[in-house]
Amino acid sequence: MSAPTRERRASELSSREFLRWMWRQLTSMRTALFLLLLLAVAAVPGSFIPQRGVDERAVELFFIDHPTAAPILDALGFFSVYSSPWFSAIYLLLMVSLVGCIVPRMTVYARALRARPPRAPRNFSRMPASGSFEISASVEEVMQAGRRALGRARIDVVDDGSGTTELRAEKGYLREFGNLVFHVSIVVVLVGVAVGSLWGYRGAVIVTEGGGFSNTLSQYNEFSSGPLFDAEDLPPFSFRVDRMIAEFQPEGPQRGAPKLFQADVTYTERPGEDPEQYEIYVNHPLSLDGGSVFLVGQGYAPVLRVTDSTGAVVFEDAVVFLPTDGSYESQGVVKVPDAQPEQIGFQGFFLPTAVSTGDGAPSTSIYPGAVNPLVGLRMWTGDLGLDDGVPQSVYVLEKDQMTPVTDENGEPFNISLSPGQVQELPGGGSIEFVDLKRFARLQVAQTPAMTLPLVGVSLGVLGLIASLMVRPRRTWIRARSGEDGSPTVVEVAALDRVPRDELPEEIDDFLAQLRMELGDSTPEESRA
């Protein structure tokens, strides 16, 4: 019976030893350095391959451009590098390594804080810097002068009873403190980031001038939230976009560059409260309890009115045309499900400053401001497919069950409208460019505990500065009273915890200062 028991114990011991060995490996500086470099390398692909959280459309384009590679990369998590298992594994290992390194050092530091400065070495000349001199002052006076010269260092004075007194001083405790603060702050930052992403939410919404928004899930165009966020917790604020201002450089070398984007809104923070006015512009979000509203984009929304063959107005609304480039050449879709006898769909472009590039050639936009607005559309009739139960994008026209409308020559029927213009449609009815409005693309976001990473990283920098600038030093002064009126022999030695070349010069300065404190101005006698 005893043999297998012993065997089991032995294996238990060895596995524990193995774990201990593993732990030591993980918490070694070499491993930490390796993990740090690995983290840097692992972060690289995310800057070259489009990321889901950053640019969803770029990811879709990548899939179209690289049909074979994309699914493989997807399976390996390359489209969401920073939440992929391998990236997480690296930084979690790094965190464990960090904590495993920091906790023992904290206990060591706590002990060091309580400890008294260590006793002087027997042989001062073996220290990196040392010196000695003789002086007529008493041992007691030397010790007092030493205390003054050493300032705020931690000091013990020990008399060995045989006429030799030793002063032990240590300073620079802040270095390790700063070091520990810096490393702890990294953990604080990560905890803060985690809290923010677990309980946070972010959504985007497009609101045309005059349009409103109330903060419920169904109102968002895009919405993402942390796994612990509850949509019931969306704060009940609402706002209306009264005016969207967009100004561009009218002339000069930067003609067309954006000058000002501003959304004037009227908001109500809680239902029943008085509405208030606010100007949201870039770098100037509307901060409300439980969420902030940021202006992240803008564009044009021509108001179009469509009548069908019966003469009834079947559509009248501002249609959002999404900008495709810096000149605000935009694309949009109009869906008219109520038109008789058939449903109508329009698809086309909007040009804020249209210029014809030649006979028959398509117009282009030469300036992002609305100087010569033009809506260009083509028309389809048939079934919009809205009743199929499949969710549709408002920016895409499903043409599977629709037929393009052509003119008498069999060419696609082109509609070209300036504000106020009306175009008769084949088969009866008309379309009118009633008015030009703008839309604001707003982002509503809340990141809880956002101050935690900020405080963490700020404390971290302070700790970092302390850990890089503070110089820990141990200094010893030994004074032996001379017999029969001969002078007192004073020996000084210093040791830097972090070796520095300047130590010998500084110990010379210290010796000079010590002698000055003792009222002696004779030149230095010897230095080891």
For another protein, the binding residues (CB under 8 A) are 29-30, 32-33, 36-37, 39-40, 43-44, 46-48, 51, 53-54, 58, 81-82, 193, 202, 249, 252-254, 257-261, 281-285, 292, 294, 296, 443, 445, 447, 450, 453-454, 457-458, 460-461, 464-465, 468, 501
Cβ of residue 501: shortest distance to another protein, in angstroms? Answer: 7
Cβ of residue 128: shortest distance to another protein, in angstroms? Answer: 15
- State which residue, 226 or 382, has the beta carbon closest to another protein: 226
- State which residue, 158 or 194, has the beta carbon closest to another protein: 194
Cβ of residue 258: shortest distance to another protein, in angstroms? Answer: 5
- State which residue, 39 or 174, has the beta carbon closest to another protein: 39
The SS3 assignment for 212 reads: strand
- State which residue, 466 or 514, has the beta carbon closest to another protein: 466
- State which residue, 36 or 322, has the beta carbon closest to another protein: 36
Burial (CB count within 10 angstroms: exposed 0-12, middle 13-18, buried 19+), residue 167: buried
Cβ of residue 33: shortest distance to another protein, in angstroms? Answer: 6
The SS3 assignment for 301 reads: strand
Residue type, 147: R
- State which residue, 30 or 114, has the beta carbon closest to another protein: 30
Cβ of residue 50: shortest distance to another protein, in angstroms? Answer: 9
- State which residue, 227 or 252, has the beta carbon closest to another protein: 252
- State which residue, 298 or 343, has the beta carbon closest to another protein: 298
Q: Residue 418's Cα: distance from chain center in Å?
A: 44
In this structure, are residues 413 and 405 in contact, taking their beta carbons and an 8 Å threshold?
Answer: yes
- State which residue, 253 or 485, has the beta carbon closest to another protein: 253
206-216 burial by CB neighbour count: b if 16+ within 10 A, else e? Answer: bbbbebebebe
Cβ of residue 261: shortest distance to another protein, in angstroms? Answer: 5
Residue 411 is classified by DSSP as S
List, in sequence order, every residue forming a beta bridge with 363; answer none if it has no partner.
Answer: 356
User: What backbone torsions phi and psi does residue 194 show, to the nearest 5 degrees?
Assistant: -65, -45
Residue 119 is classified by DSSP as P
Nearest to 455 by CA among 174, 181, 202, 94: 181
- State which residue, 47 or 409, has the beta carbon closest to another protein: 47
Output the six-digit token pair for 133.
């001199």
Cβ of residue 226: shortest distance to another protein, in angstroms? Answer: 13
Pairing of strands 374-382, 354-356: unpaired
Sequence-distant (6+) residues with CB within 8 A of 522 are 515
Cβ of residue 143: shortest distance to another protein, in angstroms? Answer: 35
In this structure, are residues 526 and 133 in contact, taking their beta carbons and an 8 Å threshold?
Answer: yes
Q: Residue 130's Cα: distance from chain center in Å?
A: 50
Output the six-digit token pair for 280.
């949201």
- State which residue, 200 or 385, has the beta carbon closest to another protein: 200
- State which residue, 348 or 463, has the beta carbon closest to another protein: 463
Distance CA 502, CA 511 (A): 14
Cβ of residue 367: shortest distance to another protein, in angstroms? Answer: 16
Cβ of residue 216: shortest distance to another protein, in angstroms? Answer: 19
Nearest to 444 by CA among 223, 263, 282, 202: 202
Cβ of residue 292: shortest distance to another protein, in angstroms? Answer: 7
Nearest to 120 by CA among 174, 162, 164: 164
- State which residue, 26 or 43, has the beta carbon closest to another protein: 43
Distance CA 344, CA 498 (A): 79
Distance CA 515, CA 517 (A): 5
Residue type, 358: G
Alpha helices, DSSP H, located in 44-134: 45-48, 56-65, 69-75, 85-114
Q: Residue 337's Cα: distance from chain center in Å?
A: 44
Cβ of residue 199: shortest distance to another protein, in angstroms? Answer: 15
If you write DSSP's letter for every residue of 220-244 in order, what string do you get? -SEEEE-TT--GGGS---EEEEEEE
Cβ of residue 450: shortest distance to another protein, in angstroms? Answer: 7
Distance CA 328, CA 298 (A): 10
Distance CA 92, CA 86 (A): 10
